[in-house]
Structure 1
Amino acid sequence: MRFRAFARAAALAALTTSIVLTGTLGGTPAQAETNQLRIAQQFGIAFLPLIVAKEQQLIETKAAAAGVPDLKVEWLRLSGAAAMNDALISGGLDFATAGVAPAILTWDKTRGKVDIVLISSLGSMPNVLTTNNPNVKTIKDFTDTDRIALPSVKVGFQPIVLQIAADKAFGQYDKLDHLTVSLPHPDATTAILSGTGGITAHFTSPPFVQQQLASDKVHAVLNSYDVLGGPHTFNVVYGTKKFATDNPKTVAAFVAALDEANAWIKANPAEAAKLYIKAENSKLDPALIESIIRDPQINFTTVPERVDVFTEFEYRIGLIKQKPGWKELFQSGLHDRGGS
């Protein structure tokens, strides 16, 4: 009996030593977390939390505190969702950024293949449909002579919100699709303010909304918050499920960095506006940027809001084959934050 007890104790000691020395069972070293994080950053105030995290090196600091020392963060500029998704799938990118509606489409299309997971929300921010046509008061007033500019027709964030609005107004979600044209926000802003190019409306986000509404030539037709019944997530960060599984400390550090960036933005709106202007080499008035940051409708937060409204609609009209709840879309570190 004493021999067996001694043998068990010796075996336990050997196992403990193996875990301490190798970080795992069986003597196989545990896989270390990544030493680099490649993030696709886009332009616009919606991405301010990423700009703050970058300029203040918050991700590196949080990662070091979590036991991931010397993490190198690389910031990439990629044009368009297609290029971004290609880079993510091919392994040339770790975190992509996009509107929540098209990110859900990517989640569905890659399901069972690459498998992506949404890492975090970048905040809740209303998008506004504007027009220079004085006869258009609601979307029911658009005629075949109108043209609605969007960054990407049918599958982008704004066209999907427009489809939700059309579904409510006409009982036909694609009623206005034939009026939409793809045009970048800056070009559409120039067109609608100048009255050129045949563009009579533009579904857009800050700061383009504020720039347009400052003119007496343009007025608002609808606000996406009204369409979806309240504040909703605008943009998200997403990556492959494999990367998130292999690098839990890095993912947690990234979210913690965004949380700190969001708190700093809210506490220091004037400084955040100046940082944005400098980092983006923007010619916009810092006072305009500060007013946007202070807008009570805008909330920089990592918590997903009303994501389920998008999944429900996209599933109902056949854009996606699966209907996930928001917790199925987002990594588990956000599940206890009261999202929707």
Structure 2
Amino acid sequence: MKHFKLAAALGTAISVFGALPSVAETVNVRLARQFGIGYMPLTLVQEQGLLEKHAKEAGVDVTTEWLRFTGGSGMNEALLSGNLDIAAGGTTPMLTIWARTQNNLTIKGVAALSSMPLHLVTTDPEIESIADFSQGDKIALPAVKTSIQAITLQMAAEKYLGEGKHADLDTYTVSMGHPDAQLTLLGGQSEINAHFGSPPFQNQEVKDGQARKILDSYDVLDGPHTFTVLWAKNDFVEKNPQVVGALMAALEESIAFIKENPEEAAQIWAGAESTNLTQEEIVALIQDPQTKWTTTPERLLPYVNFMARVGLIASDTDDWRDLFFDTVHDRDGS
């Protein structure tokens, strides 16, 4: 009888006040990024706790682990082995793993982070264009044959040296993270005499006075293109829709903050990164007219079409939405 009265009382309380609140689910999210200002939206997401904030609003408690890699290949291995949930890097490592997993794990893009020009710079006064590289020259870039710099170099070789010559410069490339490549290039004590980098490293190298730009990725692609993107496995996205939604909201808040508060964003990024850039230099990079802070993908199809045509990947598409989850399908991408 007592049990019946207790149940009745509980039922009355629920009917009056609504269902009892459920205990919030806790999800641990492992995210990774590389080095450079192109990952600033993620840096702010981390430093300002934006993923945790938006997940909490969606009824999910999130804990985060942030990892750093020097190239996309390592992140792809971590994704495949189950040691990473969200990868962030240049577009081509994402395209590589997208093509590789369409019939099994289904890895796709989640969102873009930025569109930025990538510059090939050299300290050799005799090198005026990519046609001048010869035996003994070495070009540092994040990952041979897979990084966005490596693929852009192949596209440039085909565009400026001729059809069938896309791989002619591969022999001169060396895998090296941007911070090490910058130190090696400007140190002058190595065979590395060129670096296909990204902001801010390429900017610092030219400012140093020893290096100068000989190739711009925007010229190769005939316009602006996405530089950095996020990608993940279908399994993670399907199992964690609220977390993914919170991540998208966090990115949009982060990007809006960068645009509206460049001075403060620069301070936060400088405090989180090992950089000798001045506040003024960081703000200039943030506000560079060639830079777009956006989650909307831009000019990914030229990359995927080229990679498929020359045999770097086995899949191709003419619809950029095939490359991404529906997180950005409502955008005017390309």
CA distance in 2, matches of 1:144, 1:109: 33
Pick which of 134-143 and 166-175 moved more.
Answer: 134-143
| Candidates 253, 256, 267, aligned match of 1:260 | 253
User: Could you say which residue in structure 2 is the equivalent of 1:92?
Assistant: 83
| Alignment check: 8 A CA contact 1:101 1:160 kept | yes
CA distance in 2, matches of 1:339, 1:112: 24
C-alpha RMSD of the superposition: 2.0
Q: Normalising by structure 2, what TM-score?
A: 0.87
Find the residue that maps to 2:292 and give its secondary structure: coil
| Candidates 136, 146, 168, aligned match of 2:137 | 146
| Alignment check: 8 A CA contact 1:118 1:236 kept | yes
1:242 is aligned to 2:235: yes
CA distance in 1, matches of 2:195, 2:134: 15
Aligned length: 310
How far is the alpha carbon of 1:87 from its aligned partner? Answer: 2.7
User: Could you say which residue in structure 1 is the equivalent of 2:123?
Assistant: 132
1:279 is aligned to 2:272: yes
How far is the alpha carbon of 1:55 from its aligned partner? Answer: 1.4
CA distance in 1, matches of 2:70, 2:212: 30
| Alignment check: 8 A CA contact 1:33 1:247 kept | no
1:216 is aligned to 2:209: yes
1:232 is aligned to 2:225: yes
Equivalent positions of 1:181-196 (< 5 A) are 181-196=174-189
How far is the alpha carbon of 1:330 from its aligned partner? Answer: 0.6
| Candidates 321, 326, 339, aligned match of 2:320 | 326
User: Could you say which residue in structure 2 is the equivalent of 1:11?
Assistant: none
1:115 is aligned to 2:106: yes
Deviations 1:148-197 (A, max 9, x none): 11121111111100000000112210111111122222222223223321
How far is the alpha carbon of 1:313 from its aligned partner? Answer: 0.3
CA distance in 2, matches of 1:94, 1:277: 26
Deviations 1:236-279 (A, max 9, x none): 11111121122222212211211110111111111111111111
Q: Give 1:101's aligned amino acid.
A: T
Deviations 1:84-104 (A, max 9, x none): 223322333211122111111
User: Could you say which residue in structure 2 is the equivalent of 1:37?
Assistant: 29
CA distance in 1, matches of 2:126, 2:309: 32
Find the residue that maps to 2:61 and give its secondary structure: coil
User: Could you say which residue in structure 2 is the equivalent of 1:46?
Assistant: 38
CA distance in 1, matches of 2:238, 2:226: 24
Q: Give 2:104's aligned amino acid.
A: K
Equivalent positions of 1:58-69 (< 5 A) are 58-65=50-57, 67-69=58-60
User: Could you say which residue in structure 1 is the equivalent of 2:161?
Assistant: 170
| Alignment check: 8 A CA contact 1:122 1:300 kept | yes
Find the residue that maps to 2:229 and give its secondary structure: strand
In structure 2, do the counterparts of structure 1 residues 86 and 265 end up closer, same or farther at CA, with 3 Å as the change threshold?
same
Find the residue that maps to 2:269 and give its secondary structure: helix
1:102 is aligned to 2:93: yes
CA distance in 1, matches of 2:240, 2:193: 47
How far is the alpha carbon of 1:76 from its aligned partner? Answer: 2.5
List runs of 5+ in structure 1 lacking aligned partners. Answer: 1-19, 22-31
1:298 is aligned to 2:291: yes
Q: Give 2:333's aligned amino acid.
A: G
List runs of 5+ in structure 2 lacking aligned partners. Answer: 1-17
User: Could you say which residue in structure 2 is the equivalent of 1:198?
Assistant: 191
How far is the alpha carbon of 1:80 from its aligned partner? Answer: 4.4
Find the residue that maps to 1:86 and give its secondary structure: helix
CA distance in 2, matches of 1:238, 1:291: 28
| Alignment check: 8 A CA contact 2:27 2:63 kept | yes
Q: Give 1:124's aligned amino acid.
A: S
How far is the alpha carbon of 1:33 from its aligned partner? Answer: 7.2
CA distance in 2, matches of 1:187, 1:89: 27
Aligned-residue sequence identity (percent) comes to 44
Pick which of 130-139 and 200-209 moved more.
Answer: 130-139
How far is the alpha carbon of 1:64 from its aligned partner? Answer: 2.6
Q: Normalising by structure 1, what TM-score?
A: 0.86
| Alignment check: 8 A CA contact 1:33 1:246 kept | no
Find the residue that maps to 2:112 and give its secondary structure: strand
